[in-house]
Amino acid sequence: MTQNRRSFLQATLLAALSTQVAPELLGAAASASSVRPRRLVPGATVGLVSPASATWLTEELDILQDTIRALGLKPKLGKHVLDRYGYLGGTDADRAADLNTMFGDDSVDAILCIRGGWGCNRLLPLLDYPQIAAHPKILLGYSDITSLLTAIYAKTGLITFHGPVGTSTWNPYSLDYVRRVLFNAEAVTLTNPAVIGKGLVVTEDRIRTITPGVASGVLVGGNLTVLTAMLGSPYLPDWSGKLLFLEDTNENIYRVDRMLTQLKLAGVLDKVAGVIFGKCTKCLPGEGQGSLTLEEVLNDHLRSLKVPAWQGAMIGHIENKFTVPVGVRAEIDATRGSIRLLEPAVR
């Protein structure tokens, strides 16, 4: 048998096996390189799903569908988007079925999660990762959607997107990054707005450098609470050399301290090449006792890492937000507070 024929047969066998590989092995094979989904184009179809908390009002869906049409896109509702099972948007099986169906439907070009809340971690064992790998497409959301973004990237190598959910405020700032990242395939630089208001200097959305420096790596992260709830599971990536971005909301400062301690004890923080802490909206001291400040907590946990780190990026439960690709190579500058993508996130 000639060398060329042997190589051809080996490649054919590997291709056949890849369609049958167990989900727990798929991530190891995919982690070597990221997979870019196709960009959004006018007329593309966006699948709308509720993988976490329930959507209670049909008017919200009407507004969202009108928003999708205003973007020049076509909405397609998941079968179970108005289901309710307690605080969840339907049973685990039905919510997972909507996601699996949207990924397997070749008429759907991208998937937008309607809202976060809670429930995505419950779906992770029910997702069809080989099918997702075979039908790569944009998945967009934040907050509890962090679970899906991270697990799908870890298991398949597919780049996912931490950005607006359907019920977000689709304002010009947020929409600009959606267009540039998902439509135009730009390797953008994400920087906070530098708007001088009534005073002489910028007073809102400032960045605070914790440890100066520049670092490069692959962006991974999202909601701090969700990520720490995934520790010990097989749905997280190898953290070595990653650029970790974090955000949260409505957590007392001692809880933020506790969760960062958990990331430290689990070995995550010691492996990363840099840390971007976004917004911690309504993260306040607990009642009836003294408290560290959020600044002190972040200093305690991040300065000892001796990697570039800063606080205040436009990532989180805020109206003006970045669209951050999970799985894309980037360079961060903790003095400038910038995230520069080193490659487009879509093709």
Strands 160-162 and 324-326: antiparallel
Pick the catalytic residue from 34, 50, 143, 168.
143
**Residue 38's Cα: distance from chain center in Å?**
17
Q: Quick check: is 18 catalytic?
A: no
Q: Are 47 and 26 in contact (CB under 8 A)?
A: no
- Encoded tokens for 107: 């008429």
Burial class (CB in 10 A: 0-12, 13-18, 19+), 279: buried
Buried b (16+ CB within 10 A) or exposed e, 93-111: ebbbbbbbbbbeeeebbbb
Q: Are 174 and 291 in contact (CB under 8 A)?
A: no
Query: Following DSSP, what letter does each residue of 154-211 receive, concatenated?
Result: HHH-B-EEE---TTS---HHHHHHHIIIIIS----EE-----B-SSSSB-SS--EEEE
Distance CA(212)–CA(335), nearest Å, equals 5
Q: Quick check: is 338 catalytic?
A: no
Q: Are 221 and 313 in contact (CB under 8 A)?
A: no
Q: Quick check: is 317 catalytic?
A: yes
Distance CA(66)–CA(57), nearest Å, equals 15
Residues whose CB falls within 8 Å of the CB of residue 84, separated by 6 or more in sequence, listed in order: 54, 56, 90
Closest CA to 238 of 157, 121, 331: 157
Q: Tell me the catalytic residues.
A: 143, 247, 317
